[in-house]
Chains A and B, each alone.
Chain A
Amino acid sequence: MLRDITLGQYYQTESVIHKLDPRVKLLGTILFFISLFCFKNPVGYAIAIIFLAVVIFLSKVPFLYMIRGMKAIVVLMIITVLLNLFATKGDVVFSFWKISITKQGIIMAITIALRISLLIIGSSIMTLTTTPNHLTDGMEKGLRFLKVIKVPVHEIAMMMSIALRFIPILLEETDKIMKAQLARGADLESGNIFKRVKAMVPILVPLFISAFRRANDLAMAMEARCYHGGDGRTKMKPLKYQKRDAIAYIILFVYLAVSITLGRLWLFNIM
Chain B
Amino acid sequence: MSLIVDHISYIYDQNSGIPTVGLEDVSLSVPDGQFIGVIGHTGSGKSTLMQHLNGLIKATSGTIYYNGEDIYEKGYDLKKLRSKVGLVFQYPEHQLFAETVFADVCYGPGNLGLSKKECELRAYDALRRVGFPEELIFTSPFDLSGGQKRRAAIAGVLAMKPEVLILDEPTAGLDPKGRDEVLGQIKKLQQEENLTVLLVSHSMEDVAKYVDRIIVMNHGKVFLDNTPEVVFSHYKELEEIGLSAPQVTYIMHELAEKGLNVRTDVSTIEEAADEIAAKIKDRMIQN
Contacts and interface: CB of A to CB of B under 8 A. Distances in A.
Interface of A: 3-4, 6, 11-12, 65, 68, 176-177, 179-187, 201-202, 205-206, 209-210
Nearest to A210: B94
A37 to B, nearest CB: 32
* Interface residues of chain A: helix, strand, loop or mixed (majority): helix
Nearest to A201: B97
Top 3 A-B pairs, shortest CB-CB distance = A185-B111, A205-B97, A180-B95
Nearest to A184: B108
A201 B157 CA distance: 18
22 contacts: A3-B16, A6-B16, A11-B17, A12-B17, A68-B16, A179-B51, A179-B89, A180-B92, A181-B95, A183-B89, A184-B95, A184-B107, A184-B108, A185-B79, A185-B160, A186-B107, A186-B111, A201-B97, A202-B95, A206-B97, A209-B94, A209-B142
A201 B111 CA distance: 14
Interface stretch (B80-88, B131-139, B180-188, B259-267): B80-88
Residue of B51, B87, B111, B160 with highest tally of chain A CB at under 10 A: B111
B12 to A, nearest CB: 9
B16 A179 contact: no
A181 B56 CA distance: 11
Contacts of A210: 94
B16 A65 contact: yes
Interface residues of B, number: 26
Contact of A3 (B13, B86, B98, B156): B13
A182 B97 contact: no
Given A3-B13, A202-B107, A182 B82 contact: yes
A184 B56 contact: no
A182 B160 CA distance: 12
A263 to B, nearest CB: 35
Contacts of B82: 182-185
A180 B160 CA distance: 14
B96 interface: yes
B56 A182 contact: yes
A183 B54 contact: yes
A177 B142 CA distance: 16
Interface of B: 13, 16-17, 51, 54, 56, 79, 82-83, 86-87, 89, 92, 94-98, 107-108, 111-112, 142, 156-157, 160
B142 A184 contact: no
A185 B92 contact: no
Contacts of A12: 17
Nearest to B99: A205
A102 B75 CA distance: 50
Nearest to A180: B95
Contacts of B108: 184-185
A187 B92 CA distance: 19
Contacts of B89: 176, 179-180, 183
Residue of B17, B83, B108 with highest tally of chain A CB at under 10 A: B17
A201 B17 CA distance: 33
A46 to B, nearest CB: 31
A187 B111 contact: yes
B94 A177 contact: yes
Nearest to B57: A179
Residue of A6, A181, A209 with highest tally of chain B CB at under 10 A: A181
Given A183-B56, A184-B108, A185-B79, 13 more contacts: A11-B17, A12-B17, A179-B89, A181-B95, A182-B56, A183-B89, A184-B82, A184-B156, A185-B82, A186-B111, A187-B111, A202-B95, A202-B107
A48 B86 CA distance: 56
A231 B108 CA distance: 52
A183 B16 contact: no
A97 to B, nearest CB: 43
Contacts of A181: 95
A2 to B, nearest CB: 13
Given A176-B89, A184-B108, A206 B96 contact: yes
A206 B112 contact: no
Contacts of A176: 89, 94
